[in-house]
A = this chain, B = another copy of it.
Amino acid sequence: HNSPPTSLFYFNTFISSATNYTLATYLRHLTLHPHLAGTTPSLHTALYVKSHFQSLNLQTHVTNYTVLLSYPLISSVILHFPNGSVLSLALDEPGFSSSGVVKPYHAYSPSGSAYGKPCFLNFGREKDYIALGTNGVNVKGCVGIVRRGGGLSRNEMVEKAAARGVEAVLMFTEGEFEGGVERGTVMSGLGDPLSPGWGGVENGEKLRIDDPLVMQRFPSIHSLPISMKSAEIILKSLEGPEMPYEWRKSLRCSTSGRLGPGPIMINFTYQGEKKMATVHNVFAVIRGSQEPDRFVLLGNHRDAWTYGAVDPNSGTAALLDIARRYALLMRLGWNPRRTIILCSWDAEEFGMIGSTEWVEQNLVNLGSKSVAYLNVDCAVQGPGFFPSTTPQFDNLLTEITKKVNDPDSEGMTLYERWTAANRGIKIQRLSGVDSDFAPFLHHAGVPSVDLYYGRDFPVYHTAFDSYNWMVNFGDPFFQRHVAVTGVWGLLALRLAEDPILPFNYLPYAAELQDYTHILSKLLEGRNISLHPITAATQELAAAAKETLGEAKKLKEDKATDEHTALKRRILNDQLMFAERGFLDAEGLQGRPWFKHMVYGPRNDGESELDFFPGIANAISKLSGGGEQNAAIQHEIWRTARAIQRAAHALKGELIT
């Protein structure tokens, strides 16, 4: 007889259809030219992705937004030595001056000139300024030299320097790769600065560029990234007090061991232009057969600072390969139960602009209908599996790693190697605002995943992030690409196919319990109660257990009548809406766009807490005393209510 293939058949077919040469081919195409958002070569990558989707007969769409981007015009850094000699720093990367690669810059930096003594600011954190003060260094009027890696965003580093009277900032990254320079955005917040909070659609409202709401997104002083080599020239010239021992010990570049300021003078000029440019999100939609109104979203950005072989097009290659393999399943007769959408975002590098505009535009339907957002940015940076998820994915992700071969050890599953490397299951969480999951999770409350192979790669945001680097260092045989693609594609398949959504909220409750323990140690001796969070977490755990029981029952029930169909849908709705409960309509104090009370950015990048951002912010405010305790307690209440809302949503019943 001839019964239709099962989901399992399609899962297996998906796995067995993996090929590394397709991935390599896609990556080669995508990285032929630098493709900075808003430029013509970038449009060409959009068209490439579009035509790939179309050639597979997938329903393909492109949404455009015209947004404010930022490009460099002129930059110069001239050192004036006490002996009268003058040195103009090389700001381009060696060999790339006429390559079409954009010169190193900070997007949205204001234009400006500064003439002052250099001074080393370490990572530019609060405690670094305190140390400078202790050492008698006055940074006012200086050109600040800072190194990346202290947990602050570029914007935070520049703004903290500006707040102390620093005139301009030169930023470098340790871990030299042939003179590469790390580009990046210094805009705060997400999305087009001209449409804060709403989708910046054509014919939609746009703020004027001089609107205070727009201007506050940009730093008040200019900055530029420089190579480590350039930084060393300056750092070796510094005199003045000695660097603190810890700074010297951790520095991986040569210095005079002094803090400055001076004695040399730096003349630093930057001119850039902010201009309207069109960005392109490309979508392939595989419409669900039973529940077309439930969305499983796979997303990756496509724009790159330079060639983007790692960041982000290793992920784009994976996305295109998933499209190829899903199309293959469709030719075999498959249609997912729920709708799958492959999303190729633009202008992530400028501040998650493509994804944020789309999320803002679609907020009401995403909020009520999306099951999961699965992000892959730099799919492959090197060896090792580094997944981040909201915790209801933990079990599903773990299961799936058992179905995928480890790329670096013959005969082992990804699961075996991953758990061996970490002595257990190690899944990171998603408080960072560093890729396109941020609008989905932090603003819309969609359960999210972010997958990486490898971490910290030396060519990050430099001209050396090229196909060459990938085949020489990152993933010579594209096996790591195959592994990420397998995990990503299988995750989506399970989420789109399983009659009962494969979410388990017990790990979420356990995680919240861990957070509460950490917090309780931190707050020891203060007159603050964590009981509201403990109680809410217990409610969540109880609801989680209940849904697991109900899921078990419904999985065994194969009936296809209306009543059973609705029972499944009802349970799935509970599982889907629970995450939304963590959102608070008011959002974080001072950053109301961020609505998630468990995962989200801290105002103080130095905070030890990478969860409960409202509480973390209240703790890091330096007010102190009973007033601060009250503020912390209020944020504990807000967080507890969010957890309780999640529990209510998971339970699915009104309190009567």
Contacts and interface: CB of A to CB of B under 8 A. Distances in A.
Interface of A: 61, 63, 197-198, 203-205, 283, 285, 290-293, 295, 341, 358, 361-366, 368-369, 532, 535, 560-566, 569-570, 573, 577, 580-581, 585-587, 592, 595, 634, 637, 641, 645-646, 648-649, 652-656
Given A205-B532, A561-B561, A656-B283, A566 B362 contact: no
A564 B562 contact: yes
Contact of A652 (B369, B595, B654): B369
Contacts of A290: 562-563, 566
A285 B292 CA distance: 32
Number of copies: 2
B562 A648 contact: no
Given A290-B566, A569-B566, A586-B197, A654 B295 contact: yes
Contacts of A652: 293, 365, 369
A368 B573 contact: yes
Contacts of A364: 577, 580-581, 645-646, 648-649
Contacts of A361: 655
A537 B641 CA distance: 36
B532 A365 contact: no
Given A561-B561, A649-B368, A656 B566 contact: no
Most buried by B among A198, A365, A366, A563: A365
Contacts of A587: 585
Nearest to A636: B205
B205 A634 contact: yes
B648 A362 contact: yes
A285 B655 CA distance: 11
Contact of A655 (B292, B362, B560, B634): B362
Contacts of A564: 562
Given A561-B560, A562-B560, A654 B580 contact: no
A446 to B, nearest CB: 12
Contacts of A204: 532, 637, 641
Contacts of A581: 364
Contacts of A362: 648, 654-655
Contacts of A535: 203
B655 A63 contact: yes
Given A365-B648, A368-B573, 8 more contacts: A205-B641, A283-B656, A290-B562, A368-B577, A561-B562, A561-B565, A585-B585, A585-B587
Contact of A368 (B283, B366, B368, B637): B368
Contacts of A565: 561-562, 565-566
